[in-house]
A and B are shown apart, each in its own frame.
Chain A
Amino acid sequence: MANHDDASEKQDETRTGTTEPRKKASFALPVIKGLANTLAHVLRREPNTIHYPEEKRTPYPGYRGEHRLKRDELGREKCTACFLCATACPAFCIEIVAEEAPWDDREKRPRIFNIDMMRCIYCGMCEEACPCDAIELTPIYNIPSRTRGEKIYDKEKLLSL
Chain B
Amino acid sequence: MARGDTPMTRWLLNGQEVENPTGMTIMEAAREHGVDIPDFCYHPGLSIAGNCRICMVESNRSPKPIIACSERIADGLEIKTDSDVAVEARNSVMEFQLINHPLDCPVCDKSGECILQDHSYTHGPDRSRFVEDKNIRHTKELGPTISIWGNRCIVCTRCVRFCDEISGTGELCVVERGDRAVVDVFPGIPIDNAMAGNTVDICPVGALISEDFKFEARVWNMDRRDSVCGGCARGCNIEVETLDGYVKRLLPRENLEVNDWWMCDHGRYGWRHLYSENRLTTARTANQELEDDSATSTLADFVSRAKKVAFLIDPFLTCEELSLIHGLSSSIPDSIVGGWLPPKGTAEQFPSGFTISSAKHPNRRGAEKIFGSKVFGKDGKDLLKALDSRKVSTLIAFCGGPAEEGPGSSWSEAIRKARKRIVFSVMDGDWLKGASLVVPATAPLEKEGTWINEDGRLQRARSCWKPGDEPFCPELVRLQQVQMACEIRTRCLSAAGVFRELAENIKAFSQHSHSDLGDGGLPLSRRRARVDSKGGTR
Contact = CB atoms under 8 A, between A and B. Distances in A.
A and B touch in the complex (CB under 8 A): yes
Contacts of B107: 80-82, 106-108
A8 to B, nearest CB: 60
B215 A83 contact: no
Interface string B198-229: 00000000000000001110101100000000
Nearest to A99: B215
Q: Which of A82, A84, A100, A132 has its CB near the most chain B CB atoms (within 10 A)?
A: A82
Contacts of A80: 106-107
Contact of B106 (A99, A100, A132): A132
Main secondary structure of the interface of B (DSSP, over half): loop
Interface in A76-117: 80-84, 86-87, 98-100, 106-108
Contacts of A83: 218, 221
Given A83-B221, A87-B220, A87-B221, A131 B106 contact: yes
A108 B215 contact: yes
Interface string A114-156: 0000000000000000011000000000000000000000000
Contacts of A132: 106
B134 to A, nearest CB: 14
B147 to A, nearest CB: 11
Contacts of B104: 107
Contacts of B215: 81, 98-100, 107-108
Interface in A50-83: 80-83
Nearest to B220: A87
Interface string B281-319: 000000000000000000000000000000000000000
Interface in B98-135: 104-107
A100 to B, nearest CB: 6
Contacts of B220: 87
Contacts of A82: 105-107, 218
A87 B218 contact: yes
Nearest to B103: A131
A159 B106 CA distance: 20
Interface residues of A, number: 15
Contacts of A108: 107, 215
A110 to B, nearest CB: 10
Contacts, number: 29
Nearest to A84: B106
Contacts of A81: 107, 215
Contacts of A98: 215-216
Nearest to B218: A83
Nearest to B106: A82
B473 to A, nearest CB: 29
Contacts of A84: 106
Nearest to A111: B215
B323 to A, nearest CB: 40
A13 B215 CA distance: 65
A49 B221 CA distance: 45
A35 to B, nearest CB: 61
A14 B104 CA distance: 62
Contacts of A87: 218, 220-221
A99 to B, nearest CB: 7
A60 B107 CA distance: 34
B133 to A, nearest CB: 15
A98 B215 CA distance: 6
Interface string A8-37: 000000000000000000000000000000
A8 B170 CA distance: 89
Nearest to A130: B106
Nearest to A106: B107
A115 to B, nearest CB: 17
Nearest to A134: B106
Nearest to A107: B107
Contacts of B216: 98
A134 to B, nearest CB: 10
A131 B221 CA distance: 18
A84 B215 CA distance: 14
A99 B216 CA distance: 8
Nearest to B139: A107
A36 B215 CA distance: 68
Contacts of B218: 82-83, 87
Contacts of A107: 104, 107, 215
Q: Which of A80, A84, A108 has its CB near the most chain B CB atoms (within 10 A)?
A: A108
A149 to B, nearest CB: 20
A83 B111 CA distance: 11
A11 B105 CA distance: 62
A100 B220 CA distance: 20
Nearest to B149: A107
A7 to B, nearest CB: 55
A5 B221 CA distance: 63
A132 B106 CA distance: 9
A51 to B, nearest CB: 46
Interface string B76-111: 000000000000000000000000000011110000
Q: Which of A84, A86, A98, A107 has its CB near the most chain B CB atoms (within 10 A)?
A: A107
A98 B218 CA distance: 10
B224 to A, nearest CB: 17
A112 to B, nearest CB: 12
A84 B105 CA distance: 10
Contacts of A131: 105-106
A86 B244 CA distance: 15
Nearest to B214: A100
Contacts of B106: 80, 82, 84, 131-132
A81 B218 CA distance: 10
A133 B53 CA distance: 36
Interface of A: 80-84, 86-87, 98-100, 106-108, 131-132
Top 7 A-B pairs, shortest CB-CB distance: A82-B106, A98-B215, A108-B107, A83-B218, A131-B106, A80-B107, A107-B107
13 contacts: A80-B106, A80-B107, A81-B107, A81-B215, A82-B218, A83-B221, A84-B106, A98-B216, A99-B215, A100-B214, A107-B215, A108-B215, A131-B105
Interface of B: 104-107, 214-216, 218, 220-221
Given A80-B107, A81-B215, A99-B215, 4 more contacts: A82-B218, A108-B215, A131-B105, A132-B106
